Structure 1
């Protein structure tokens, strides 16, 4: 069976999948003052971070339209899967579902399924990779859905950011938590609840100690790590991500660990220096 995966642009595809015709990105868009940015291959992270730093205003994002998803679904593939940001953080999931309904109204029935990642960034990446794994194993459409949903329910998301301002200003975090983090150099170790909302797991003073705490969380919560991939995304801090990868590998044996750069939406929330890890 032929298949296609449509992943919104908060999910960072590794290089080997970016050129794979079975994968398509549905781009979110970002506004910083008068600048309008499409989160696609033209995204310039350095210029974006400079813009955000110089602006007194918080960047705003918009999800792909239902029509954009419908267009992505209109293809020769027999099975189509969409992978989106957590429905608790973005309208991308609802837009993808509306796109599916529009497609069926326009073109008729087709095997299309939308996965709510209940995560973001490389959490979406791992889900897309699972779809690829199960499709290439020859699983039926319904079987792929069942197994990927099980994977999502077991998935663990972690992140530590240099600043929580964007999350706070976009209503994802309390003012008090962001104030304490910025004034006392307290770095919360954050995660995702089973329904995809942001939660605090731990905290430490300073980035290095917070990343050590995040490793503690990963080691504690990882189930059958030798069967799983740990995905790490970083915003403009490759050396930090590399050191984090090496430190995790010393404490927990994963099937594989890979690192990618944050794309536009992930860069917007992670800010300069942020680290996200999903397993």
Structure 2
């Protein structure tokens, strides 16, 4: 792994949903969460793909778990051995997962590195954008303190919007948060879900039916971006590739203008909690 001059590394957990080519480009390390079936455990995105998780849903909906403390410690050691003594970690929301707390606990016990864990209060690529932003700042040569300060300040500028085909997986996984409209499924009411200021799932809009759900997400994205010219953008899916492409088609002008554009399938762990049929949009506003 190529080193940057000021010897700062970036680590993101696997639910940051950063595509491999961007991990490689920005030299971002990744730490997988775990997917646990009755008879075997798999590392998120390493030993199991989203497709495999969806295909097995009929026989078993697996559980998910945090990276083990020893795996976190081993990752920190690897980064140190690669020549980095300062590390910024982008973690998915503490309101949705114990990952952030686990990272902080292990980091507190490491004495030969400066490690700052950033609670992105977000999920999926909206968390990944924080890691990418930190990596861009490091590439520009900012010192450690400035990178931390700017990255921490950027947390409020990242947003995820998503809709699911069914709320049953969020309910089963205990991740329903403040999402109301559970009883709306009979009326085909589809909530648009985001993370609130506490990093917990909340409903930002309710619409009737799938088509309206997609249109509402696009409308909210355009509202959020307004006249901003400097932004990251992502479209993502969980076992709904064709619909994602249709959504992207309607966002072509924004895709073309994005400083970083990302598309793809969410991580297996996130797929467990949202089920097949997820569509989402990630946005991050940058300083103009």
TM-score, reference length from structure 2: 0.86
Q: Does 1:145 align with 2:154?
A: no
- In structure 1, list runs of 5 or more residues that go unmatched: none
Of 226, 240, 262, which residue of structure 2 is paired with 1:258? 262
Report the alpha carbon displacement of residue 137 of structure 1 after superposing the two structures with TM. 0.7
Deviations 1:77-124 (A, max 9, x none): 1321111110000000001101101222xxx3x221101111111112
Structure 1 residue 25 corresponds to structure 2 residue 30 = yes
Query: How many residues get paired?
Result: 272
Return the alpha-carbon distance in structure 2 between the equivalents of residues 21 and 193 of structure 1.
28
- Structure 1's consecutive aligned runs of 4 or more residues displaced over 6 angstroms after TM superposition are none
Confirm or deny: 8 A CA contact 1:66 1:95 kept in the other structure: yes
More deviation, 145-154/240-249: 240-249
Is 1:43–1:263's contact at 8 Å kept on the other side of the alignment?
no
Give the secondary-structure state (helix, strand or coil) at the position aligned to 1:258. Answer: strand
Partner residue of 2:110?
103
2:12 maps to which of 7, 15, 38: 7
- Segment drifting more, 221-230 vs 93-102: 221-230
Aligned pairs for 1:191-270 (under 5 A) are 191-222=194-225, 225-250=228-253, 254-270=258-274
Partners of 1:35 and 1:272 in 2: how far apart?
Answer: 22
1:81-160 equivalence runs, <5 A? 81-104=88-111, 108=112, 110-160=113-163
Which of 43, 47, 51 in structure 2 is aligned with 1:46? Answer: 51
Q: 1:36 matched to which residue of 2?
A: 41
CA distance in 1, matches of 2:136, 2:24: 17
